[in-house]
Every structure is written in structure tokens, then in C-alpha cells.
Amino acid sequence: MRIVVTGGGGFVGSHLCEALLRRGDTVWCLDNFSTGEPENLAGLRDAPGFHSRHTDVTAPFDVPGPVHAVAHLASPASPADYGRLPVETLTVGSRGTENCLRLALRHHARFLLTSTSEVYGDPEIHPQPEEYWGRVNPIGPRSVYDEAKRYAEALAMAYRRSLGADVGIVRIFNTYGPRMRPYDGRVVSTFIRQALEGRPLTVYGDGGQTRSFCYVDDLVSGLIAMIDSSYSGPVNLGNPCENTVRELAEHVLSATGSSSRIEHRPLPVDDPTRRRPVIARARAQLGWAPRVPLDEGLRRTVGWFASRSPSAEGALHHHTVHHPVGA
């Protein structure tokens, strides 16, 4: 297949590009690198079938040759990013999504929209099935991301119903793994960075709020399954194993061997109290479920973060030498 991946220079996008290339697809990676990192694509530059283009999908665009699928991942996706780029987030969710839909329609291609668990807002139903409509504050500080994705879902379904577009929607829950940016504001990357630096781990509120953490390799396998499917969705892609933020902090301290303490701070506005996906649709429609347990995923992620910082790598190595597993 010839597949366009928008946001392909980002954390998830670069992993998706790699996985598609591994199975023999040709990949056109489009990114304006407002939040993506060219370094994420360094290992792909000379890969057969890989093409990268600096592109802002909020302006009309095309790619040469046939297109069999368009995977639309382009968007700021962390509180730090969409707080810094609020208008850009809304624009890529609206105008950018429509430009990607038009590309897919012109080529009679499959269109994959990566939506988010944020469409559920601070949910009143737990765990969250796809039938739940959510509880979102449309003018709150998180609204630019939440509402951009909600609009993108509505637009995709409108193209499907009125124009016959081959649309598939996935709602991604908290994803972590190598290539997360240290200062992206996500809880996993923040805790790992703080632990490796010997700084306090900042837990907001009492740490009792929950999230469900999915390792990036598991998520990517779900994205590819949705590209290959004809199902429209939406489909939750996430790990149904729920952890409190306090528990995550303890897992990170264990994975890093850090002696950092936990420091509590006031809870941000509109921070969801609970998050856990119902994945019955993903199992039934895609044959998908996550496989990597949290401790293993954190071990891989911590190793990657440590490899980016010689001092952190040394500290981690010191820990693993003197504190073997089970000690």
C-alpha cells in the first residue's frame, strides 16, 4: 500500500511510519514539525519506500502517485502543546482534517482519523464505551484539543454519510514509549524526566485520579488494524488496566531506581478524574488488545530516556547493577 501519514514526525506518527515500512508499505510522511521532531525520522531517511515532506495540512495539498490510505495524526496532542498552540490545534482539527479527507476521497483511499479519549471529557460513565457522548467543557483550557477532535469526528462521519468516504475513527487513550518529548507535559514523560534528574515527581491533587497507559507498539498495531479494516468506528484503542497517578509515580521510581520524593500540587482545571477504555469493539472488530504490561513498557521507555542523557544513563546503570530485579 501507499500510505500518507500526517504528523509522521511526531511521537506516535514516527512509530507508525516505521511499522508500515517494516511490512512493505510505501509511506509519505507529512509534518510541519510544530511539535514533531525531525530526529524521530533519522533512521528512516534512506529506507526504501519512505518519503518525507515538510507540509502544513491546514493548506490544500497532494502527493504524487496513487494513495491507498491516509492516516491523519497531525495535531498538537499534549497540554503543553495545545496550550501553546490553541488556534493551530483547532485549525488542524477542522481545516486540516477536511484537507486530509479530500485527499482520501480523490484517491478513493481509506481515511484513518486518530481521535482521542479527551472527547469523553471528565466522564460520568466509567469505564468509557464508544457509545458514551462525553462531558466536555467547550470553553475550558483543554477545550481546543477536545473540541477539535470532536469536530473532526463529526466531519469524518459527514464525509462518510454524504460522500461515501471510507472512514475509520479511533479514540486513543494515554500512550507512552520511546520518543516522547521530555517537556511535553504528559505525565509519563514528566515523571521519568524528573526521576532521572533526581527531582521531585509532581503529582497533581492527591494522585487518586486514574489513567490507562498503553505502550506505543500496542497502539500502532491497533492503528494498522484499523487502516486495514473497513469498519468506521469509533473504536477505543487503549489499555483497560487502570492505574492511579500516584501508582504510576511509584512504578516510575521503581523503574528508574530514583530516590526522588513525590510532591503534590493543586489539581489543574478540568483535569479528568477517571479514564479507562472499554475495548470490546477493538477486540471484536480488529482482533486487537494491548500486550505490553506497564512495568515492561516503562522499562523500555526509561531506557530510551536514559540513553538520551549520559548522566541519566549512568545513574540508571548504577541502579541496575546494585539493585537487581527482585531486590
The per-residue pLDDT for range 252-299, each reduced to its tens digit, is 999 999 999 999 998 777 677 888 999 999 999 999 999 999 999 999
pTM: 0.91
Q: What pLDDT does 308 receive?
A: 87
Maximum CA extent, the chain: 63
Q: Is 60 exceeded by the pLDDT of residue 322?
A: no
Q: What is the tens place of the pLDDT at every residue in 126-162? A: 999 999 999 999 999 889 999 999 999 999 999 999 9
Cis peptide before 127 (omega within 30 of 0): yes
Q: What is the mean pLDDT of the chain?
A: 92
Q: Is 231 a catalytic residue?
A: no
Q: What pLDDT does 87 receive?
A: 97
Nearest residue to 152 (alpha-carbon basis) of 109, 105, 106, 91: 91
Separation of alpha carbons 188 and 180, rounded Å: 9
Q: What percent of the chain has pLDDT over 70?
A: 94
Q: What pLDDT does 273 receive?
A: 81
Annotated catalytic residue, options 145, 159, 176, 215: 145
Q: Is 80 exceeded by the pLDDT of residue 250?
A: yes
Query: Which segment of 8-17, 97-106, 205-214 scores lowest on mean pLDDT?
Result: 205-214
Please compute, for residue 152, the number of CA atoms within 13 A of its CA located in the half-sphere on the CB side: 36
Residue 315: band (very low, low, confident or very high) from pLDDT cuts 50, 70, 90 = very low
Count of Cβ atoms closer than 10 Å to residue 135 Cβ: 12
Whether residue 18 contacts residue 41, with contact meaning beta carbons closer than 8 Å, is answered with no
Over the range 35-49, which residues count as b (16 or more CB within 10 Å of their CB) and which as e? bbeeebbeebeeeee
Q: Is 70 exceeded by the pLDDT of residue 220?
A: yes
Helix (H) or strand (E) holding 264, with range, is: strand 262-265
Q: What pLDDT does 316 receive?
A: 53
- Domains defined along the chain, listed by start: 2-177+214-240+276-286 (3.40.50.720)
Write down the residue that cell numbers 527482585 correspond to. 326
Q: What is the tens place of the pLDDT at every residue in 54-93? A: 999 999 999 999 999 999 999 999 888 999 999 999 999 9
Helix (H) or strand (E) holding 71, with range, is: strand 69-72
Q: What is the tens place of the pLDDT at every residue in 85-135? A: 999 999 999 999 999 999 999 999 999 999 999 999 999 999 999 999 999
Q: What pLDDT does 300 receive?
A: 97
Separation of alpha carbons 115 and 265, rounded Å: 29
277's grid cell: 477504555
276's grid cell: 479507562
Q: What pLDDT does 311 receive?
A: 53
